[in-house]
Structure 1
Amino acid sequence: MWCTEASVTSKHILNAQVSIRAPCCKQWYDCAECHAEAQTHPLAKTTEMAFICKKCKKAFRKDMTAYEESDEYCPHCDNHYVVEAKTPQAVLGVEGEDARVDNRCV
């Protein structure tokens, strides 16, 4: 299962650049929260992680014990996949006048 299939969009991370394979169930998720919502077992910890880049759709592995700054990029397409996560937040606003309408239209 992909956390970001068209019908199942990640509600935890809006700008996920990779999907991560959970070592316990071999399913793909954007984040640990998506795994927790979809599965009844805890997420297993591992030092070698499998990723799929969302830009080039290619899989790759990273050893997290020897992780360096250069490892923040997909080895296939150079997509920078370690970015600050943006969490969705509800926002209330007041509608104002339409900026496209000026007094020539009235």
Structure 2
Amino acid sequence: MCKHILNAQVAIRAPCCKKFFDCPQCHAETQDHELAKTLEMVFICKKCKKAFRKDMSHYEEADEYCPHCDNQYVIEAKEPQAMIGVEGEDARVDNRMLKDDRVKGGEERSLFAQRDTTFKIDRR
């Protein structure tokens, strides 16, 4: 899983070392050489796990999909966002701070349950 592009749909084979990487930054972090450039790219789809080649000199819009499973692999990249904040600032950031209101001991609650079912009629 790539820490640079969170929604990477394919792994790309680097032509220089013949290893697969999710992005160029992953290659740069783990290898001691520069990434070589090529016009013929080899991909592995992360959905169907099958490899395929694309000639980048004749690339068309239809080439944005895996030829085996039609997974669209050319999409806008989601990159991790740096989050700096004070603890307790927003409950959505750290859900450990949320109160657990579940009922313990197998007791069921209903929105329609009445607490007191006895009625007193005053006949004065």
The answer, yes or no, to whether TM exceeds 0.5 is: yes
Question: For 1:3-62, what per-residue CA distance to the aligned partner results, in whole angstroms no more than 9, with x for missing partners?
Answer: x2xxxxx11100000000000001100000100000000000000000000000000000
Structure 2 SS opposite 1:60:
strand
Runs of 4+ in 1 over 4 A off after TM superposition: 96-101
Q: Counterpart of 1:95?
A: 90
Unaligned runs of 5+ in 2: 92-96, 102-124
Instruction: Provide the TM-score with structure 2 as the length reference.
Output: 0.69
Structure 1 SS opposite 2:38:
coil
Greater mean alpha carbon deviation, residues 92-101 or residues 64-73: 92-101
Instruction: Provide the TM-score with structure 1 as the length reference.
Output: 0.81
Q: Equivalents in 2 of 1:70, 1:45: separation in Å?
A: 23
Counterpart of 1:69 in structure 2: which amino acid? E
Number of corresponding residues: 93
Higher Rg of the two aligned structures = 2
Counterpart of 2:90 in structure 1: which amino acid? E
Higher relative contact order (CA 8 A, sep 6+): 1
Structure 2 SS opposite 1:95:
coil
Structure 2 SS opposite 1:37:
helix
Structure 2 SS opposite 1:71:
helix
1:86 matched to 2:81? The reply is: no
Q: Equivalents in 1 of 2:22, 2:84: separation in Å?
A: 27
Q: Equivalents in 2 of 1:35, 1:57: separation in Å?
A: 20
